[in-house]
Structure 1
Amino acid sequence: MTEKIRPVEVKRMMALGTQVMVDHPQHPFNGCMGRVVGRRGGRTADDTWILVYFASKMRSYLVPESILSTQPGNSETRNPDPADG
């Protein structure tokens, strides 16, 4: 007897340090850019709370992953090693 294997849905994961933008017209931070600093559990079955640091507000806030869009940016550390030249 053979079992059919269902394909597993691949959920998008925002890595730490990813630059993101709030992309929902009714959210108070719409258009604000920030960096992912953590994940804080499920909001719904298919959505996760993401902890985002907004430099313009000098604070981090929990934002649903579904209203964030990734932005091209430098995900490396802010203070490079001066010994690297």
Structure 2
Amino acid sequence: MLTDKRGVSYARLLVTHPHTGPQAVYDTPRRARVTAPTYAGDTVTLDLDVTARAPGMLCVEQHDPDWGIWRAWVPVEACEPLRY
């Protein structure tokens, strides 16, 4: 089982990627369908809020019952904007 030093599982969390360059935080989050790997090695598709951008990357906010709010940087290609 994948746990941090507090014993909280992070297996369901999206893998975050390093990024370089400037970041821009959105005033209002934007929804996107994100297909990306978790730390457990599974690929999942989730509808999430995009809260910031950096060159080639988007920051998404994932809500997990054990972890709380997790922010992960994922490649732009992993996100499909959702229009309502």
- TM-score for the superposition, normalised by structure 2: 0.48
Which of the pair is proportionally richer in strand? 2
User: Larger RCO: Structure 1 or Structure 2 (Cα < 8 Å, ≥ 6 residues apart)?
Assistant: 2
Q: Which of the two has higher C-alpha Rg?
A: 1
